[in-house]
Structure formats: C-alpha cells, structure tokens
Amino acid sequence: MSFDRSIKIAPSILAADFANFGAECAAVEAQGADWIHVDVMDGHFVPNITFGPATCAAIRPHIKGVMDVHLMIAPVDSYIEDFAKAGADVLTAHVEAGPHIHRTLQAIRANGMRPGVALNPGTPAESVAELLDMVDLICVMTVNPGFGGQKFIDMSAKIKALRTMIGDREIHIEIDGGVDPKTAPLVAQAGADVLVAGSAVFRGGSVQDPAPYRDNIRAIREAAKGVYV
Ligand code: DX5
Ligand code: ZN
C-alpha cells in the first residue's frame, strides 16, 4: 500500500447485496473501485448491526486491493487481533469509542494493520491532534454513523483544519457518508483523498449488471477532480 493523495473511491458494501458480498466486491473492483470499505456495526456504539470479523475473513479472498475496515463498535481492543487475522489492511476506530484511543491505535499498528481514526460530525478536528504521528488515515464522518443513504453534512471547515494539521505527514483524509457527484467536489477541494460511497456507487447496478457501478464510480471521481464543478 503506497501513499499518494490522488482521489480514491472506496465503495461501502453496506449498500451491496448482503447475500453476495464476494461477488459484489469483485464487481465493484472490476468497475474501477480503488478500495473496498467495510462497515462493522455493533448495535451499541451505533444503533445498527452489520457483521464482524468472520464476514471480513470470508470476503477477503474476493478483494484484490485494499480492504478498509471501519469499526463502529465499542469496545474495540478485544477484537483487533480478529480483524488482523481476517486480513484488514486499514483498521479504523472511532475517537469516541472509548477513553483509550491512543492504546487502540498502538494495538492496531502492532497487529500489522494501518491505523485509522474516525471522527463523528460533532467531534472537533483538535481531538486527533495528539494522534497524528500514529495514524495512516483520518476518517471524517459526514453523516452520523449507523446507516447508509443519509444526507451529507458539510464538514469542509473540519477537513481543511485537518489537512493543515497533517502538513506533510503521509495521512489519508477519508470522507464517509452522503458522498455523491454533488458533494464530492466540496470534500476534495477541502483536502480529502479517499471518498467512501455506498448508495451513490451501488445504485442501479448488480453483480449481473455491473456497468452502472462503473458509471457511478467515474461520476464521483470526475466530479471530485473538478471536471463537472
Ligand atoms: C455510515 C457508514 C458509511 C455508509 C456510507 O455509518 O460508515 O460507510 O455506508 O453510505 P452512503 O454513501 O450511502 O452514505
Ligand atoms: Zn463507513
């Protein structure tokens, strides 16, 4: 996993066919996805339940590139080893998930994964100021986590503040929630490089008819690059 700040589109399989994750991951990758974003929810940190490490392990062989696992769970630490064994490349925990995010990020790195830290919309950029030398990714939530298909919340000022704080450190800024061709330019201009999109990627397509995935991914990427701005 080499570092660059080019725009990367990371489809969230929260919007895919839950009975067909392996084929869905392969389909979106074949249609141009850069990373695959995997949303793990526990019904405790967020009000929804998805799946855990066993599902991640099952889909891993169907992903050629980066498996980007977003943990919306609390506590986190007792599951880190399981997600490493499941083959996560990036493992992101929420700064709000517990009192010891620093320890959590150390443990993610110690287990051979790239640590990410996520911030809810109500959490300020400054909350990660002491964590910048231990993360490879900062995920700025542009919805309150728990569900796909929600309305985008503009976090441009926070993204810009983080971009300034990061300086020349090799840290990705990822945006998660409500990303589509209309909102992508805002977040890209503010300094984001990884754009997670669920509904806006999977809309209109299927494993049997994956061409819409290509069009949807391209529309978000081109909008982020400024072509349609
Ligand atoms: C929200 C999840 C997101 C979500 C994005 O809790 O973390 O990854 O699936 O879905 P859309 O793109 O539909 O907002
Ligand atoms: Zn997510």
CA 9 to chain centre: 9
50 lines ligand 1 (CB under 6 A): no
Residue whose CA lies nearest to ligand 1 atom number 1: 145
pLDDT of residue 227: 66
Kindly give the distance from the C-alpha atom of residue 15 to the centroid of ligand 1, in angstroms, as a whole number.
Answer: 8
Q: What pLDDT score does 211 carry?
A: 98
Does residue 36 have its Cβ closer than 6 Å to ligand 1? Answer: no
Look at residue 67 and tell me whether its pLDDT is greater than 70: yes
The ligand minimizing its distance to the Cα of 184 is 1
pLDDT at 1: 78
Residue 3 lies in a domain: no
Quote the pLDDT of residue 39.
Answer: 99
Using N-to-C axis directions, what is the helix angle for 211-224 and 21-30, rounded to 10°?
Answer: 50
- Atom of ligand 1 lying closest to residue 144 CA: 6
Q: What is the pLDDT of residue 229?
A: 44
- Which atom number of ligand 1 is nearest to the Cα of residue 152? 14
- The domain tally of the chain equals 1
**What phi and psi, each to the nearest 5 degrees, are found at residue 66?**
-80, 125
Determine contact, residues 165/190, Cβ cutoff 8 Å.
no
Q: Of how many residues is the chain composed?
A: 229
**Which residue shows structure tokens 């399981």?**
82
Q: Does the Cβ of 24 fall within 6 Å of ligand 1?
A: no
Instruction: Tell me the whole-structure pTM to 2 decimals.
Output: 0.98
Domain extent, residue 54, equals 8-225
Question: What is the separation, in whole angstroms, between the first and last Cα of the chain?
Answer: 30
Residues with CB under 5 A from ligand 2 (ion): 39, 70, 176
> pLDDT tens for residues 68-91?
999 999 999 999 999 999 999 999
CATH number for the domain spanning 168: value is 3.20.20.70
Q: What is the strand order of the sheet 114-119 is part of?
A: 8-11, 194-197, 172-176, 137-141, 114-119, 90-94, 66-72, 35-41
Does ligand 1 lie within 6 Å of residue 94's CB atom? no
50 in any annotated domain:
yes
Atom of ligand 1 nearest to the CA of 201: 12
Q: Which ligand has the nearest atom to the CA of 120?
A: 1
Active-site position among 42, 136, 176, 193: 176
pLDDT, tens digit, 9 for 90 and up, residues 90-130: 999 999 999 999 999 999 999 999 999 999 999 999 999 99
Query: What pLDDT was estimated at residue 182?
Result: 98
27 located within any domain: yes
List pLDDT tens digits, range 155-200. Answer: 999 999 999 999 999 999 999 999 999 999 999 999 999 999 999 9
How far, in Å, CA of 83 to CA of 73, rounded? 13
Domain assignment present for 93: yes
Would you say residue 1 lies in a domain? no
Q: Give the pLDDT band of residue 2 (cuts 50, 70, 90).
A: confident
Query: Which tens digits make up the pLDDT trace of 16-48?
Result: 999 999 999 999 999 999 999 999 999 999 999
Helices (H), the chain: 21-30, 53-59, 80-85, 101-110, 156-166, 184-190, 199-202, 211-224
Q: Is ligand 1 within 6 A of the CB of residue 68?
A: no
123 belongs to a structural domain = yes
Q: Which residues pair with 41 in a beta bridge?
A: 72
Which residue type occupies 216? N
Assess contact for 84 and 54: CB atoms under 8 A.
no
Which ligand gives the minimal distance to the CA of 146?
1
Answer yes or no: is the C-beta of 176 below 6 A from any ligand 1 atom: yes
39 catalytic, yes or no?
yes
What is the SS3 assignment for 227?
coil
71 C-beta closer than 6 A to ligand 1: no
Give the model's confidence band at 141: pLDDT under 50 very low, under 70 low, under 90 confident, else very high. very high
